[in-house]
A = this chain, B = another copy of it.
Amino acid sequence: MTIVDQVHALLFVADSPTKLDQLAVALNVTEGQIEQAIEVLESHFAQAGPVQLVRLAGGIQLSTKPEYAEILGAFLKPQRQRMSRSLLEVLAIVAYRQPITLGEIEAIRGVNSDYSVRILAERHFLHELGRKPVPGRPVLYGTTQQFLHQFKLNSLDQLPAPVPEGYELPALPGPEG
């Protein structure tokens, strides 16, 4: 029973991303040893089989490789929740500017965003971080672990920087391509 096998076993039963320190504590080894074991596992999975290691939401989790998506999608028939342009837009703003109030989101977008924020909170992409110490004490929103997980992000640092105002965006190809 090597550390590699033990780490594999823990990741196999974990139902969410597991942090290195959690693994180290569970197996009573150093985080460095866990790192090494993870590397071995990673190359082992890369060689063969449908399983891979992914780093997301600040932890490590086993998943199937993307090339199995079609078969698995047909087998599990997951209900993919569609996300409208405005939901994505609000999510992008919160991800980048958190903690942020509804009023501040609306100031950026120039439209009522109450509905989008509520839906995103219901889907556990956003949650309340506290209240802003200004009159009215409005709720401050931030993104959740679930957000990182659903967008395959390991941390918020991976988000690209927003393009500053006034900067000309390269035109997107029109419908005529």
Interface, chain A (partner B; CB < 8 A):
1, 5-6, 8-10, 12-14, 26-27, 48-51, 62, 64-65, 67-68, 71-72, 74-76
Contact = CB atoms under 8 A, between A and B. Distances in A.
In terms of DSSP, what is the predominant structure of the interface of chain A?
helix
A13 B75 contact: yes
Given A12-B64, A64-B13, A5 B50 contact: yes
Q: Which of A13, A14, A64 has the most CB of B within 10 A?
A: A13
30 contacts: A1-B50, A1-B67, A5-B48, A5-B49, A5-B50, A6-B50, A6-B68, A6-B71, A8-B49, A8-B50, A8-B51, A9-B51, A9-B64, A9-B71, A9-B72, A10-B71, A10-B72, A10-B75, A12-B50, A12-B51, A12-B62, A12-B64, A13-B64, A13-B72, A13-B75, A13-B76, A26-B71, A26-B74, A26-B75, A27-B71
> In the complex this chain forms, how many copies of it are found?
2
